[in-house]
Structure formats: structure tokens, C-alpha cells
Amino acid sequence: MIAIVDYGMGNTASVKTALQRLGYEVAITDNPAVLEQASHIILPGVGSFQAAVEEIEKRNLKNVLIKLANEKPLLGICLGMQLLFTTGYENGITQGLDLIPGDIEKIETPYLLPHIGWNALHVHQEESTFATFQDQHVYFVHTYAANTDDTYVVATAEYGPEVTAIVKKGKIYGIQFHPEKSGEVGQRILQAFLKGVEQ
């Protein structure tokens, strides 16, 4: 069973249907006991960094997530990916889960913000599970992005600067775009995460 963390921030339903379509059993939950039983944890999210951290803390999920991230594969999507990092700079300075070192800062670009639409992936780690997605288009909606060490950056997308698109540190994964809204390619990316790190 795959657990989608429900903390009141965003579109859990479309992530759920995308996973069900791939044939997985899915639970949307904020119950630590259910999260413990899951094979994989997915942390979705839409909204602001600071509001999301508040919601996670309100549900006493911060330490639960940090503990589980060391035990089983965890995937953060969009805002959920940003929460994996050390510090967020949206609406003030907020500490994240600090599972991957790095900061979430506003994208510095001459182009329009938010970065909305389909953009091509540049995969930097050739041996990665995601190497087959080189130059594939995926759907982004965000204004802030992760600044982290190159070691953790699997893929980026060009929007003025190269914007972090996929990160990985051990069994902890983060995807900035929306695989559940990225058509066939998005489905295959979710599959790659689930297959690539099956327990």
C-alpha cells in the first residue's frame, strides 16, 4: 500500500487516481500507524511553504515523516518536494523537514512567474532511474524552487536559469512538477519512482 500524506494542502485526489491507474493500492491518511504500514510515502502539496509546515506541525507529523524517510522510499511532489529541504523563504523564513540540505527561494528569471506550463527535463544523472525522461515535457506550476548541492539534483528544466525539477538523496525523492498532470510521461515517472525503489 502506498500512503499519500493528507495534511490539508492540496490535490491528493489526482495523485491517488494516477497511482490507482498504475495498479497500486492507495491510502490518503494523516494517521502515523497507516503511514508505518505503507511501502512508499507520498507527500503532495499545493500552497505556501510556511502554511504547509504549520499544517504538518499541527498534525504532529514532522517527526513522523523524518523518521519514516529513513525507513522507506518517500516522494515529495511540488510543495511536498520543497518541504524536504532545510529552509523556505516564502512568506518569511520557515524551517522545513531538512531531509535534503538546501533552500527554497523565489526563481530569479526574466520570464513570467509563476512558471506555469510544460517544460523539458534535462536529466543530469545518466545512471538514474529517470535517465529515460531526457527532454520529455512535464507540467510545472510554481514560483519558488530548490537551491541545493548538485549531488542531489537528478534533473532540471530551463526557465532562464536551470530550475531544480527532480532531486534524490538515498531513498528520498522530490519532484517539483506535477507528474499526475503530466500525461503519459507523468505516469511513467511515478512508475519509475515506485519500481526503482521497491522494497
Partner 1 sequence: MIVKRIIPCLDVKEGKVVKGTNFVGLRELGDPVAMAQNYSKAGADEIIFLDISATNEGRNTMVDIVKETAREVFVPFTVGGGVRNIDDVTRLLQAGADKVGINSAAVHHPALITEGANRFGSQCIVVAIDAKKFADGWHVMINGGSKDSGLDALEWAREVEKRGAGEILLTSVDTDGVKQGFDLALTQAVVNAVRIPVIASGGVGQPEHFPEVFKKTDVSAGLAASIFHENTFSVAEVKAKCKEQGVNIREA
Report the distance separating Cα 139 and Cα 185, nearest Å: 10
In the set 40, 78, 115, 142, the catalytic residue is 78
For the bound state, the minimum distance from the C-beta of residue 181 to partner 1, rounded and expressed in Å, comes to 5
- The answer to whether 178 is a known catalytic residue is yes
Q: Which is nearer to partner 1, 98 or 162 (CB)?
A: 162
- The answer to whether 55 is a known catalytic residue is no
For the bound state, the minimum distance from the C-beta of residue 63 to partner 1, rounded and expressed in Å, comes to 28
Q: Which is nearer to partner 1, 101 or 114 (CB)?
A: 114
Q: Which is nearer to partner 1, 88 or 186 (CB)?
A: 186
**Site of interaction with partner 1 (CB under 8 A):** 11, 13-14, 17-18, 46-47, 111-120, 137, 139-141, 158-159, 178, 180-184, 186-187
For the bound state, the minimum distance from the C-beta of residue 136 to partner 1, rounded and expressed in Å, comes to 9
For the bound state, the minimum distance from the C-beta of residue 28 to partner 1, rounded and expressed in Å, comes to 14
In the set 90, 115, 142, 180, the catalytic residue is 180
Report the distance separating Cα 6 and Cα 28, nearest Å: 6
Q: Which is nearer to partner 1, 41 or 121 (CB)?
A: 121
In the set 40, 115, 142, 178, the catalytic residue is 178
Q: Which residues are catalytic?
A: 78, 178, 180
